[in-house]
Homo-oligomer: A and B are copies of this chain.
């Protein structure tokens, strides 16, 4: 049975915390070093990457991690470089799709030692917004990803699906460990912010879980109507409490920032109008001004670190003042994508 990495929910909190800690150890040894000293040698190992959406950090972190372990990556832009893929069982493929995941997955698994997949709706370049092809509940089943994983006997890594972005979650865990030393019981705020497009929820899902898995006292701060998926909220609460933390959900901006050690910002669209922008009651201008992360809000916290998964729209999600301040850790958080990718790849491919 291949050890996939599809969601942090498939792994227990302690295992994730160990992976994050291993990443920080690789960072300590590997920074500026070329090949990471003491890490597994992945020479001749191949990471296949299938991107249905744009990427900067994910692509470069995976390829750079493989290179620093001695391995090789092959990145395909699905749709332009490749054929169109089918995931539905029993499909009569006389239309748009040309290759079924039942063949695609075992074939790539026979040529690669692991396969990373980014496939999510609503992830678009520029100002262009798209409509989702189905409700969030349907999209969250991530049919292609899970069908691929079932048909693959090498590890499949989720590089962001509709429901989860576990690589971001793992990087956030490493970053919280790095910034706080012992994050358990510390105050962490994940705050919604206004954005010109309705964005996916996979990243905030995995970020919320990251803080929960570390046993932090987690506050999800969002306007009414912008809740994350209930099954994720429930899991985050359970895991936070099991690890010595807590989860609260609020729309009280002032109260939420008070005492925060970490503020992580992210925008996402309403789940009840997911990918149907015309039906979404657009956040009004006062939401924009009220929810942007600025220096005044951060001043209510306990000298908090500022996090964001990037890319971030400056002066929309957070002000220049926040992003250019010494307590802004977004670049460090992004760099940790590299070291957590390395830790994950070393763990999955190093023993093979």
Please tell me if A253 contacts chain B, counting CB pairs below 8 Å: no
Q: Which residues of B contact A112 (CB under 8 A)?
A: 60, 64
Q: Which residues of B contact A67 (CB under 8 A)?
A: 44-46, 71-72, 74
**Chain A 61-77 interface 0/1 with B at a Cβ cutoff of 8 Å (1 = within):** 10110011011111011
Number of copies: 3
The answer on a CB contact under 8 Å between A311 and B99 is yes
Q: How far is the CA of A113 from the CA of B93 in the complex (A)?
A: 40
In this complex, how many residues of chain A approach chain B with their Cβ under 8 Å: the count is 79
The answer on a CB contact under 8 Å between A99 and B59 is no
Indicate the member of A86, A314, A324 with the most B CB atoms within 10 Å: A314
Q: Which residues of B contact A312 (CB under 8 A)?
A: 99-100, 103
Q: Which of B61, B76, B97 has a CB less than 8 Å from the CB of A111? A: B61
Please tell me if A250 contacts chain B, counting CB pairs below 8 Å: no
Further 4 A-B residue pairs, CB within 8 A, beyond A54-B82, A63-B74, A110-B334 = A56-B108, A77-B80, A98-B126, A98-B311
Q: Interface residues, chain A, CB within 8 Å of chain B?
A: 32-36, 42-46, 48, 51, 54-57, 59-61, 63-64, 67-68, 70-74, 76-77, 79-84, 86, 90-100, 102-104, 106-108, 110-113, 125-127, 196, 310-316, 320, 323-324, 330-331, 334-335, 337-338, 352
